[in-house]
Amino acid sequence: MKNSFGQSVSVTLFGESHGSAVGAVLDGLAPGIEVDCGFIAAQLTKRRPAGKISTQRVEQDRFEILSGVFNGKTTGTPIAISIPNENVRSGDYSEVSRLARPGHADYTAHLKYHGFEDFRGGGHFSGRLTAALVAAGAIALSALKGKGIYVGTHIKACAGIYDRELSDIEADIAAANALDFAVLDGEIAAAMREEIEKAAADGDSVGGILETAVAGFPPGVGEPFFDSVESVLSHALFSIPAIKGVQFGDGFALSEMRGSEANDAFEMSEGRVITKTNRAGGINGGITNGMPIVFSCAVKPTPSIFKTQKTVDYLKNENAELSLKGRHDPAIIHRARVVVDSLTAIVLCDMLAQRFGTDYLMPGR
C-alpha cells in the first residue's frame, strides 16, 4: 500500500477526494531553490475546471506549505503541501456506493482495501489528488528552470481533432505554457472545444493525446535497462488517472518504418553532437542524448458519464444499472496536461539528483 515515488527526490501523496484535504510531501529536493507561491497558484489554475468543458466542482485550491520552505527558499528538508477540499457533495455518491462505476476503481479498491475504502468521489483514486501533484510539481519546475530546463505539454489530439506538429521546441513549450487550453493552433482549439461541448450535451465524454517536450535537458542521464528514462517516466506517468498509453518520440509509428528511415543520424553543430531528426524522442539506450525529450500520453474519455450503464452490485453479487448524478468532466485532457508537466518535472529532478548529486539543482551549482 505504497503512495510514494522516486529515489533521491521523491513525492508522497495523501488524502481523498471528499476528505478534509489532499496533499503531497516532496522530499530530497536541494536547498536554496526559490519557491514562488504565485507560480504554484497559476499552475493550480491550469488544472482547475473551466466553463462548459469541465466539471462544475470548482475548488479554490488554497494551498498551504507546512514545512521545507523558509524565507521563500527550499531548506532541503521535506516539503509538505496541503490543499483543503471545500466544495464537496458526498451525497451524490451515497446511492451508488455499492455499484461498480464502469471505468473507475470502485470494485478493485473494494477488493484491495476490504470494504474500508472511502468511496466518495473515488476517494484516494480520484483525480482530485493531482492538485497536490501540481503544487509539488511547480516547485520542481522552478528547480529545472534554474538549470535552463523547460517542460511543456500541448493537446496533440482531442475527439479525433489534431493540433499542429511541434516545430521550434522551446518556443512551442513557452506558447503551450501560456495557454489555458493548450492547443497551439487557435482554430483547432475552437474545434476541440466544440466537440467537448457536444459530448457534454449528450451526457458523454471524450479523450485524446497529450504531447510533452523537455528542452535543455543534459545528455548522459538514465540507465540502460530497468531505470531507463523511458522506464522511469512511464512508471510515473501511468500513475496519473486516465493515462492508458505512453510512447516516446515517434513510438508505435517506428514499427512501420525501415531502419534507414527510423534512425536519427548524428552530426556536429556549434561544437556539440545533435541528431538531424528526433524520432527516438531524445533517448538512446535508455539514456538522454541531449536532444529534446518528447513523449505522448493517451488520455481515455472521462469514465463518469450521464448515460445509463450496465454494472454490478458487488455487495449483493447481482447485476445492476447505473445512472450517475453529480458533477463530472466531459473531458479531462485540458486539465491533465499540467499534471503531466508536474510529474515529469519531479521525475527529472530525481534522475538529475541521482546522476549529478543531490545538490545539482541548487542555484549557482
* Tens of pLDDT, residues 47-59: 988 777 876 656 6
Q: Which residues pair with 299 in a beta bridge?
A: 208, 243
pLDDT at 91 > cutoff 60: no
| CATH number of the domain where residue 59 is located | 3.60.150.10
* Percent of the chain with pLDDT strictly greater than 70: 95
Beta-carbon contacts of residue 154 (< 8 Å; ≥ 6 apart): 163, 166, 172, 176, 182, 183, 184, 210, 211, 337
Q: How far apart are the first and last CA of the chain?
A: 37
User: 219 lies in a domain?
Assistant: yes
pLDDT at 122: 82
| Least confident segment among 18-22, 180-184, 195-199, 206-210 | 18-22
Domain assignment present for 363: no
Least confident of 31-40, 157-166, 249-258, 300-309: 300-309
Expressed in percent and rounded to 5, the helix, strand and coil fractions of the chain are: 35, 25, 45
Angle between helices 229-237 and 333-356 (to 10 degrees): 140
Query: Which has the closest alpha carbon to 80: 39, 15, 27, 134?
Result: 27
pLDDT at 19 exceeding the cut of 90: no
Higher pLDDT, 97 or 184: 184
Task: Round to whole Å and give the CA distance between 276 and 281.
Answer: 12
User: Which pLDDT score is estimated for 324?
Assistant: 77
pLDDT level of residue 98 (50, 70, 90 thresholds): confident
Cα–Cα dist 204/197, whole Å: 10
Q: Is residue 365 in some structural domain?
A: no
Q: Which of 249-253, 254-258, 323-327 shows the lowest mean pLDDT across its residues? A: 323-327
Tell me the torsion sign for CA atoms 355, 358, 362, 364.
Answer: negative
Q: What is the pLDDT of residue 124?
A: 86
Residue 267 inside a domain? The answer is yes
Q: Looking at residues 236-262, what average pLDDT do you find? A: 97
* Residue with cell string 485550491: 61
CA atoms of 140 and 103, how far apart (whole Å): 31
Q: Is residue 364 part of a domain?
A: no
- Does 312 score more than 80 pLDDT? yes
Range of the domain at 321: 4-356
How many domains in the chain? 1
pLDDT at 119: 85
Instruction: Please give the C-alpha separations between residue 165 and each of 131, 173, 183, 294, 347, in angstroms, as whole numbers.
Output: 28, 12, 11, 12, 25
341 three-class SS:
helix
Q: How confident is the model at residue 97 (pLDDT cuts 50, 70, 90)?
A: confident
Residue 362 lies in a domain: no
- Answer whether residue 234 shows pLDDT above 90: yes
Summarize the confidence of residues 313-334 as an average pLDDT.
87
* Nearest alpha-carbon partner for 330 in 130, 208, 196: 196
Question: How far does CA 280 lie from the centroid of its chain?
Answer: 21
The whole-model pTM stands at 0.94
pLDDT range class, residue 323, cuts 50, 70, 90: confident
361 part of a folded domain: no
Report the pLDDT averaged over residues 199-209.
94
Q: Is the pLDDT of residue 93 over 80?
A: no
Conformational region of residue 342, where left means phi above 0, alpha means psi within -120 to 50, and beta covers everything else: alpha
> Strands 309-313 and 318-322: what pairing?
antiparallel
- Residue 325 scores a pLDDT above 80: no
One-character DSSP codes across 232-291: HHHHHHTTSTTEEEEEETTGGGGGGS-HHHHS--EEEETTEEEES--TT-SEETTEE-SS
In a domain, 43, yes or no: yes
Mean pLDDT of the chain: 93
Find the helix packing angle between 333-356 and 130-145, rounded to 10°. Answer: 50
Q: What b/e sequence results for 40-62 when a residue is b if at least 16 CB atoms lie within 10 Å of its CB, and e otherwise? A: beebbebbbbeeebbbebebebe
Determine the Cα–Cα distance for residues 249 and 93; give it in Å rounded to an integer: 41
